[in-house]
Structure 1
Amino acid sequence: MTKASKIYIAGHRGMVGSAIWRQLEGLGYTNLLGKTSKELDLRNQQQVNTFFEKEQPAVVIDAAARVGGILANNDFPYQFLMENMQIQNNLIDASLQLGTEKFIFLGSSCIYPKLAPQPLKEDYLLTDALEPTNEWYAIAKISGVKTCEAIRKQFNKDYVSLMPTNLYGTHDNFDLKTSHVLPAMIRKFHEAKLNGNTPVNLWGSGTPMREFLFVDDMAAAVVFALENKLPEHLYNIGTGEDLTIKELAETIQKVVGHTGEIVWDSSKPDGTPRKLMDISKMHALGWQHKVDLASGIEKTYQWFLNNSEQIKEVKM
């Protein structure tokens, strides 16, 4: 690995992929490779294989996925399962067949069982039932983790999986139909503020606890995995701290400057009661997050304000 090694970042236009690209560029990596979904359909095995044969990347970072919140997962289970498996299978297999030595697979904390002990350790994978509201996405990601583990075991390749907690930050998806909870709240509070501080309706009871990691910290974890040979195949990436959804809403409300009422719709699902990551393995190796939640929300809201005219709207 040198600063001139060819590094392909799948999903380089997304929130995570673009953060990784910016960070690598800032560190002096000069041979970064990215393709838009129009230029390369990662669901198409032939296209992916042809691309790999031509480019021969030394490193592949898989930050490409079909993602969304509870509503999107519930409404489009087939797409969340099949498209994510197609994307990762094509990338992993092409990397193996064409000799890519390092592969970094990005997943999600939703791979762990719904009622697993807290905080979530890597060892809890496949020990109990998943959360039904996002099991389709979770099963796809679990298959990616196990595929990378199998390659590591059978072929002794440096293929590693990083499982982030809930990510947020600049270049996030703020589409209310498909976004995750934090960017959706930013948009809801912002629009309610513009409408005279009208009440903001939020799903669930507000009692579930969640952990949030700023996307630049996730990018730093990927760079850490890139520049070091990690001894195991699976690592959690997070802050090790969580808060209730109600506390999150109040923090966002304060940052946005909304002064109206928050109304909780308890008829809507809460999802998993708690999802806190055990990040002791990554801490022991030397990586830690740097951005606290309030600062991260302020940075994200500022980006939202600066880009509100072209906020990404996802079409299902």
Structure 2
Amino acid sequence: MFTDIHNCCMLLGTADDILILCHKSPDGDTIGAAYGLYHALTHLGRRAAVRCSDPLPEKFAYIHGGIEMPEFEPQLIIAVDIAGPGLLGPALEQYADRVDLCIDHHVSNSDYAGLTLLDAQAAAACEVMTSVIRHLGVPLTKPMADALFTGCATDTGCFRYSNTTANTLRTAADLIDAGADSARITNDLFETVSRKRMTLENRIMDTLEYHFDDRCATIVMSRALLDELGAKVEDLEGIVSIPRRIEGVDVAVAFRENPSGTYKISVRTGEKANASAICENFGGGGHVRAAGCNVPGPLEHAKELLLEAVRKELTGA
């Protein structure tokens, strides 16, 4: 059931042992929202812990590094930036039907939690979480600000994507005022790449193909290539946005081969196409400009499925 921020904060005030869940393959937004809330709750004297099915990327160690999480039986379970229970991942699937509160910004949220605070106009879950923390009456500290600024920055492509609103920028400004190290965070996340990442980009862009009068561009991340280069999921973040920057491309699709032989699909679109609508054909979803799903292999079959969905989206047929 969808709720408002007042009822959300009332619920947060009812429990002492609070478990905060991130989505699998964690990004800056789910990590930032989780740790921002963690710090706010511990400031209020509550016992809280953050859990994720997958290891948290080292590049976000300035958010999660050195924090020991307690073990307890939770009184309240909160999911952040998680549109559906399938995104919890294997290690957290035991909580799929036990989530008391979801704080999210995905229009595709399936309303699986007992209560859901959803702001589909927000660019990031961290934008929503900043409002929650304010309503809790907790002053923003530097650890909170660094965590929350990270989510706002990563989900907007460093405030370049069309989901960036005036409120997003006001929120970011408030977080900088509270101590967020915006220069270091944006430099480390957007301006600095490892040699492995540069090699990955070059090899993956060799697979670039154009479709539908060059309005759609596809790239492929094969299992063989990822294994050869020892690539982790976090090494691939943002690669799908590269072909989207090509002049005339309205839809960019990345095919990442899973160990099972299925394909993880990431879609990025411009103003003339809806990424979420494309992915909803395959049980996925996300945002209008950024969405994802999974489809069966082999690669040619996966391409056939996705390109047909893209064709329908571009032509309205």
**Scaled by the length of structure 2, what TM-score is found?**
0.31
Structure 1 length-normalised TM: 0.31
